[in-house]
Amino acid sequence: MIKDLPDNTVHDIAIAVALESESVESKIWYVYLINLKNEPIENVMITSKGYGEKDGEQVKTSTLRHMFPAVDGKAFKLIEPIDEQTFGLNNEYWLSYYIGTNIFDKKFIFLPESIVEMNFIKLPVLNKPGVMIS
């Protein structure tokens, strides 16, 4: 029974927060979906939300939904801009997509204060500095 279910483990897919530009006054950040596979993924749906504690109070952001018909292999899609003020919260991205008739899903959570320069890498495919969860 359970052994008969397909292994729909998500591999070679990442969510990344990239530093787009920086000035004296501010930094501009975007969240991306990166498909590290050689094959496309289809019917991609991502929900995003932030939650946690700020100044001793529980805080929740709006839940946003994003849909992409397809993301090519070795490609990326811009999901949304992200405000630095939410970096102190849990930033959750729940991804689901299809490869053929198989559905895959995974929850990616950037923990509070994890989006910091100390954790930066050169993001694959994007070639920008940022933080990535795969």
* Max Cα distance, the chain (Å): 59
Give yes or no for a contact between 55 and 39, defined as CB atoms under 8 angstroms apart.
no
pLDDT band at 6, cuts 50/70/90?
low
**What's the predicted TM-score (pTM) here?**
0.91
C-alpha to C-alpha distance for 96 and 108, rounded to whole angstroms = 11
Kindly list the distances between the CA atom of residue 16 and the CA atoms of 67, 100, 112, 124, in Å, as whole numbers in the listed order. Answer: 17, 25, 15, 10
Question: Which domains are delineated in the chain?
Answer: 2-133 (2.60.40)
pLDDT of residue 21: 85
State the average pLDDT for the chain: 92
